[in-house]
Every structure is written in structure tokens, then in C-alpha cells.
Amino acid sequence: MSLKAPVQALAWLGRHGTRAVALSAFIGMALPPLSALFRPFVEEAIFCLLVLAFLRVAPVDVLTRLRRPRLVLLATIWIVLAVPLILGAVARAFGLPSVSPDLAVALFLVTAAPPIMSAPAFVSLLGLNGGLSLALLIVAMLVTPLTVPLIGEVVLGQALPISSVSLAVRLVLLLAGTAGLAWVIRRIAGADRIAARSREIDGLSVILLLFFAVAVMDGVAASFLARPGVTLAILALSFVMAFGQMAVTRIVFRKASPDDGFVLAHAAGNRNMGLIVAALGGTLPDLAWLYFGLGQIPIYVLPLLLRPMAGKLAQAARSE
């Protein structure tokens, strides 16, 4: 059987990636029976997404960023340390952990976590160079085992049941495994062939993002039916947190080039909450779990909303 049709379908998905990704968030809510089927394979989906991210970005682009690490290091400190500590201190000052412990846990999730593992894939779908996004992701994930317990103490007022050593080992193995597999694929296929198939790779990323969306939306549709007011309020809060972190980050790094500033803002506003949920043993208070599910919607919808701006930045970067 010819592979032409599936390949063309992947390329089509890649060309329309931002629209397909935005739609997938709502498909996840519309198909709750599939959540139980897909949920056990979330880790595998994340692994494959990161492999595609390594594969999609040329190693030279990442190395270029890491050879001049100042921007990456400053952005890492800001995103995984400064932002959560500042917001955590404000939350403690207003007594959020005692007034609403569930929302305090949600705040912890959406600020302490590193950027989403699919950030380079999203950046590539928007037409920007993913080198900075992937370099920032790698550094942020490596320091996460050190920063998360500290932030948990500030935000929640008590030490979290999390093992920094096991989390560090998990992250190192994940990064080494995905980067190694991407390197093997690149060596076998060749850099030119990988570059020529960039749209197909983006299409695979879209499929995996759809799979992930369906898996993490378990219970969200039921919550909309049972308590629509609370659910809509949590959804609105998730957008405020995403846009707020993006806007402040863009202001803080206003001296960076426009395309680099956009990539850093995207990383700050889109956090890998699933990593922290896994470290907590997969158990969260009711409202915090609802926020975790609904918090995926801004992640999936933002690329579509921001695509016009990203397109102009990408065109300007190519013309320089």
C-alpha cells in the first residue's frame, strides 16, 4: 500500500497545525470515554513529543544558544524561580493557602513547573526557530528538582511529598533518552531529509497533542455540567495566568529581539503541570485537578491566537 496519502495527510496537519491543536483541546472534552483509554499512555505521548522536538530543531541552533547562555540562564531563573516565588509570596500575604488550599496548589502547579515539553513543537508550528525554546526547556528541566521543593514551601507553607532525587533521575533519563533517540533518527535519515519533512514532523506532533488533550480532559466535561459557574471561573483564571505570565515576561525581556522575546514569553505562559502532578503521585485536590485539566486549553488555543504576531516575527527574523 502506498504511503503517499498518509504522508500528505501529515503534511496537511503540519500546515494547519495551530488550528488543529486548538480544536484538539475541545475534542478532548467532547470525547470523555476515550480519556480512560488514553490516560495510561500520557508519559509515552510526552516522550514522543520531546523526541519530535529534538528532531525538529537542528542541533546547531541549540548549541548556538548554549554557547551564549546568558539569555537562556536569565530566562530560566525568571521563569522557574522568580515568577513562582513572587506570586507565591503574594499568595501567602493574602492568606490563599488557608483560605483556599486547592487554588494554592493550582498556583503552585502553574508557576513552579518548567515550560511544557511540547513548547519547541508549538514554536515550530508558529514558524519560529525552536532552538531557544528547546535550550530553555533543557536547562529549566534540569534545575526543576532543585526549585520545586523550595517553591512548594513558599506557596503552600509546608514541604511537599516530593523526592528531588527521583525527579532529577527521571528528568535526566527522559532528556537523555529522547535526545539520544532523535540523534539516532537524524543520523539514519540525514539532516537534509529531516529538514525536507518538517511539515510531516509537525503533523505527528499535532496527532500526539490531540492524544494528550483527550487523556488529560478526564472529568472536565462532567464538571461543566455539574457546576458550570465554577468551571468557567477556573477556565478564565487559567487564561489570565497564561496571558499574565507571558505579558510580564515580554516586558522583563523587552531588550531581547522580538522573536526571542516571544519565545520566552510563550515558555513562561505554558507550564508542564503534568510533570509536577506525576511527582505528587497523580493526586490533587478537586479544584486543583480541574485547573490542571482546564489549564491545557490556553496551552492548545494560544498558538492559534498568537499565530498572526508570530508570523510577522518569523518573517522579520528571516529578512535580517
What pTM was computed for the model? 0.78
Is residue 130 within 8 Å of residue 57, measured between CB atoms? yes
pLDDT tens-digit map of 205-262: 878 877 877 877 777 878 888 898 999 999 999 999 999 999 999 999 999 888 889 8
pLDDT tens-digit map of 75-124: 999 999 999 999 999 998 888 888 888 899 999 999 999 998 778 877 87
CA-to-CA separations, 58 to 53, 124, 197, in angstroms, rounded: 10, 11, 13
Q: Model confidence at 311, in pLDDT bands (50, 70, 90)?
A: low
Q: For residue 115, what are the β-bridge partners?
A: 271
pLDDT tens-digit map of 116-153: 877 887 787 777 777 888 889 888 988 888 888 888 87
The x, y and z cell numbers of residue 311, run together, are 508570523
Is residue 222 within 8 Å of residue 30, measured between CB atoms? no
Is residue 258 within 8 Å of residue 319, measured between CB atoms? no
The x, y and z cell numbers of residue 213, run together, are 488533550
Mean pLDDT computed over 283-307:
82
Residue 50: what pLDDT? Answer: 80
Which residue did the predictor score with more confidence, 71 or 153?
71
DSSP notation for 222-239: HHHHH-HHHHHHHHHHHH
Residue 45: what pLDDT? Answer: 82
Average pLDDT, the chain: 81
The Cα 44–Cα 17 span in angstroms is 21
Report which residue type is found at 54. Answer: F
